Structure 1
Amino acid sequence: MAYLINGVEYEADDLGYLLEPVYDDEAVRVIAAAENIELTEAHWEVVNYLREQYREEGATPNFRNMLKGFSEIHPGADSKYLYDLFPVGPAKQGPKVAGLPQPLGKGGY
């Protein structure tokens, strides 16, 4: 599988996650369209949070840590808020839409 982003083909795994991070905002638009997500400002806030976490930590947070970290910068964000944005799962679908590789691990604590 691959995505065509600004005329460049980027390889993705069988689940649609990019093999290497792509920080071009057009990547977000292309992948969101493939996921049937209509992007809003709220989506971009989560995307930017996940990209920042990936840059700092080399991975994206599991859902529990994502909820805790994101709610610190966006008071009032709860699990329903994040699932409304990324219904397949914020800690799985969020990184995919953000143009990041597949999260490692099964989540947990």
Structure 2
Amino acid sequence: MGYVVDGQELDTDDQGYLLEPDYGEEIVRVIAAAEGITLTDAHWKVIAFLRDEYREHGHTPNFRNMLKGVADGVLPGCDSKTLYDLFPLGPAKQGAKVAGLPQPYGKGGY
């Protein structure tokens, strides 16, 4: 399974995560549509957070660290329900997928 952006097919793993990160906006729209997500400003803020974390650390945070990071500055007062409303299949994993990042580490994160 791959996503097509600007006529180019991007390689994915068997679960639909990109093998290499793509920081463009169009890939976010393509993956979000495939996941049935209608993007809002809150989605874009969380996506920017996840991309920054990936660039800085080489991987995305686990759910607990994601919640703390998002609630501390990205979406003040955010709770787990808010993140699950944005990414219902799991904020840490589905959020990373929609952000155009490779599949996060397994349970426990880093």
TM-score class, shorter-chain normalisation, is over 0.9
| Higher mean displacement: 92-101 or 2-11 | 2-11
Identity of aligned residues (%): 69
SS in 1 for 2:47: helix
Name the CA distance, whole Å, in 1 between partners of 2:87 and 2:103.
15
Partner of 1:104: 105
How many residues get paired?
Answer: 109
After superposition, give the CA deviation of every residue in 1:28-86 in whole Å (9 maximum; x if it has no partner): 00000000000011100100000000000000000000000111112110100000000
Name the CA distance, whole Å, in 2 between partners of 1:97 and 1:108.
18
For the structure 1 residues 61 and 108, does the alpha-carbon distance in structure 2 shift closer, same or farther, using more than 3 Å as the test? Answer: closer
Q: Where in structure 1 do 4 or more consecutive aligned residues deviate above 4 Å?
A: none
Partner of 1:93: 94
For 2:95, the aligned partner's letter is G
The answer to whether the 8 A contact 2:61-2:109 is kept is: no
Q: What is the RMSD of the two structures over their aligned residues, measured on CA atoms?
A: 1.1
The answer to whether the 8 A contact 2:59-2:104 is kept is: yes
SS in 1 for 2:43: helix
Name the CA distance, whole Å, in 1 between partners of 2:27 and 2:109.
28
For 1:22, the aligned partner's letter is D
Alignment pair present for 1:43 and 2:48: no
After superposition, give the CA deviation of every residue in 1:9-28 in whole Å (9 maximum; x if it has no partner): 10011111000000010000
Name the CA distance, whole Å, in 2 between partners of 1:107 and 1:92.
12
Q: Give matches, 1:45-64, under 5 Å.
A: 45-64=45-64
Q: Give matches, 1:57-72, under 5 Å.
A: 57-72=57-72
For 2:92, the aligned partner's letter is A
With normalisation by structure 1, the TM-score equals: 0.96
